[in-house]
Chain A
Amino acid sequence: MRVLILCEHESHGIRLCSRSAVAFANLVAEQTRGSVECLLLGHSVAAVAQDAAAYAPVLVADHPALANPLADRYAKVISDVVKQRGCDLVVAAATTFAKDILPRAAGLLGGAMASEVIGHEFRDGQLCFRRPLFAGAVVATVALHGRPKLVTIRPSAYPAAGVRAGHGDITAVAVDEGILPKKTEFEALQSKLSNRPDVTEARIVVSGGRGIKSSEDFERLVGGLADKLHAATGSSRALVDAGITPNAFQVGQTGKVVAPELYIALGISGAVQHLAGMKNSKTIVAINSDPEAPIFEVADYGLVGDVYELVPQMIAKLDGAL
């Protein structure tokens, strides 16, 4: 299969999650004796293209009209590239970037798409995908009919690809601004800069729930413990709704899906919608004052108690140990 990877990037290179998409693409290309290529869209992305070329040959659509990821423009460029190059499979990491853009590209390319893929296999030579349903309580195996097929993969299911020997070719994609849709305009991006790692990329995630009563407490308890462990901070929806944490912190079915080596849930009850976003973490720790809290059923280690007492003690103990 000819596999195209839609890469997401930040200033210095492609995002870690896109390297998981590369890993998926490499596997499928190997299994089908096919090939892989990265596609990069943006403006002034020469340096990012150099970075991407360490993983695969790169196609770059570099144009001022593509400076921001507007779905209608991006989907148009992607679908044109896919048609021109006869791609069989398009993959991206399941982030809000790809969740917005890729289904729109699929709409232009015949509709054979599956999102949030966590595994793949061949049945009678046919590529099939595994994806969770019902907040992760069930896994479905699905087949896609039509060409091209488009998928988003959960980065946690495919460990990030390493660089390969040699440098991939970088090829410019001609962008004709005249044929790009112009019904969407970018106005602003309000991002809260954090000096902590990204919650989807960190090795350890410390997450807080309604057991944490204020922003100050969140920073002191959840943030304080996270800093001791070089961890990212996350939260349940309850804290986002209460305005205590920003939206980007929400872990769960309708927030971010994380699978770190260690997930520490502080004052989180364990609603299925929250579990859907963290239950594939390698080790789960829960601290909750309610011995009956459902979070204890999915935790490897549960400690019953008040986070206001236990977390400062934990920080102090880690201080002593390190």
Chain B
Amino acid sequence: MKILVPIKRVPDTDQKIQVKPDGSGIVTDGLPFVINPFDAIAVEEALRIREKSTDVAEVLAVSVGTEACEPQLRTALAMGADNATLIHCDAPLDPWNVACVLRAYAGRYQPELILMGKQGVDDDFSQTGQMLAALLDWPQATFASKIEFLGGGLRVTRETDAGLEIVRVSLPAVVTADLRLNEPRYASLTSMMKARKKTIERIPTAQLGVVIEPRLQLLGLEAVPSRRKSVRVGSLDELLVKLRDEEKVL
């Protein structure tokens, strides 16, 4: 079995994001980037599946984007992914574009399982995995908090607003990882050094026969200012009076 894990490069979530004065994007100078936290969970899960099973031949990390994605692929290698591929594309990408590229790549690579993050923490779309599953005509199990192999397929526990939903999907399938699926391991310094020596395969998007046509176009960004009163109250009585008489919410 081969497991494909798509990786997205996102700004470190602890960083303050600043919008460029003309609203065309965010200021990236000096901004540290990481693997999207949900994708790190997907890598971890793929590694655990490989560790437990004798039939996982390869865990392959793949990114679609510019050369800037390389460090995050190296991190996935350092965590333990067997190989990594960078599908090169300089154009801005929306979820549909990424899904189309991954569909074409999956057609060539033929994984049994595509494990990915449930959303990118930068733009919070939560669309790519579902679109990819539709394009491949594979079943999907999104927001997974538990994955079990059972009778040639998967039994997946999903986190939904209604509670935990359990579904069974046949393979091949697309599964998207939620936070509580696992706690990703840290890549040690030695494994980081080793990962640096690995070759990352590079494929131009055009070679996969995919034309990037934007479906979602960014027109502009604005920072959201906080407009809070930020009043410190000295006592519960004062708080209750404010809520009752000024805000009229009690």
A associates with B: yes
Chain B count of residues within 8 A CB distance of the other chain? 84
Look across to chain A and name the residue whose beta carbon is closest to the beta carbon of B97. Answer: A111
Cβ-defined partner of B230 (8 Å) among A99, A283, A296:
A296
Answer whether residue A185 sits at the interface, using C-beta atoms and an 8 A cutoff. Answer: yes
Answer whether residue A253 sits at the interface, using C-beta atoms and an 8 A cutoff. Answer: yes
Q: Cβ of B217 and Cβ of A72 under 8 Å apart?
A: no
Contact residues, B124-162 vs A (CB, 8 A)? 124-135, 137-143, 145, 155, 158-162
Q: Cβ of B230 and Cβ of A139 under 8 Å apart?
A: no
* CB of A234 to closest CB in B, whole Å: 12
Cβ-defined partner of B140 (8 Å) among A104, A261, A299:
A104
Cβ-defined partner of B161 (8 Å) among A138, A248, A299:
A248
- With a 10 A CB-CB cut-off, give which of A142, A184, A187, A261 has the most chain B CB atoms: A184
Answer whether residue B95 sits at the interface, using C-beta atoms and an 8 A cutoff. Answer: yes
Query: Could you tell me the dominant secondary structure of chain A's interface residues?
Result: mixed
Q: Cβ of B130 and Cβ of A262 under 8 Å apart?
A: no
**Interface pick from B68-76, B105-113, B231-239:** B231-239
**Interface pick from A21-29, A33-41, A189-197:** A189-197
Q: Cβ of A299 and Cβ of B230 under 8 Å apart?
A: yes
Q: Given A71-B140, A106-B127, A113-B215, decide whether A272 and B228 contact each other with a Cβ distance below 8 A.
A: no
Answer whether residue A90 sits at the interface, using C-beta atoms and an 8 A cutoff. Answer: no
Q: Cβ of B163 and Cβ of A139 under 8 Å apart?
A: no
- With a 10 A CB-CB cut-off, give which of B180, B229, B230 has the most chain A CB atoms: B230
Q: Which B residues are in CB contact (< 8 Å) with A299?
A: 228, 230
Answer whether residue A156 sits at the interface, using C-beta atoms and an 8 A cutoff. Answer: no
* CB of B238 to closest CB in A, whole Å: 8
Q: Cβ of B219 and Cβ of A139 under 8 Å apart?
A: no
Query: Could you tell me the dominant secondary structure of chain B's interface residues?
Result: mixed
**Interface pick from A50-58, A172-180, A300-308:** A300-308
Complex-state Cα separation, A204 to B141, whole angstroms: 33
Answer whether residue B66 sits at the interface, using C-beta atoms and an 8 A cutoff. Answer: no
Answer whether residue B26 sits at the interface, using C-beta atoms and an 8 A cutoff. Answer: yes
Q: Cβ of A301 and Cβ of B133 under 8 Å apart?
A: no
Q: Which B residues are in CB contact (< 8 Å) with A302?
A: 230-233
Complex-state Cα separation, A142 to B162, whole angstroms: 30
Q: Cβ of B219 and Cβ of A143 under 8 Å apart?
A: yes
Q: Cβ of A145 and Cβ of B217 under 8 Å apart?
A: yes
Cβ-defined partner of A284 (8 Å) among B158, B164, B228, B240:
B228
Answer whether residue A224 sits at the interface, using C-beta atoms and an 8 A cutoff. Answer: no
Answer whether residue A112 sits at the interface, using C-beta atoms and an 8 A cutoff. Answer: yes
* CB of A102 to closest CB in B, whole Å: 8
Q: Cβ of A123 and Cβ of B219 under 8 Å apart?
A: yes
- With a 10 A CB-CB cut-off, give which of A106, A113, A134, A298 has the most chain B CB atoms: A134
A interface vs B, CB < 8 Å? Answer: 70-72, 75, 95-97, 99-108, 110-116, 123, 128, 132-146, 181, 183-192, 200, 203-204, 229, 237, 240-241, 246-248, 253-254, 256, 261-262, 272-273, 279, 282-285, 296-304, 310, 313-314, 317-318, 321
Apart from A133-B17, A137-B224, A138-B223: 11 A-B pairs, beta carbons within 8 A: A71-B140, A111-B95, A113-B96, A116-B124, A143-B216, A143-B219, A247-B145, A254-B38, A301-B239, A313-B236, A318-B250
23 contacts between A and B (CB under 8 A): A75-B134, A97-B162, A103-B128, A103-B129, A104-B131, A106-B96, A107-B135, A113-B127, A116-B125, A133-B124, A136-B224, A138-B222, A141-B218, A142-B217, A145-B215, A189-B163, A247-B164, A262-B243, A262-B249, A283-B247, A285-B243, A300-B228, A302-B231
Closest 6 pairs between A and B when the two form their complex, measured CB to CB: A107-B134, A111-B96, A191-B163, A107-B131, A103-B130, A183-B139
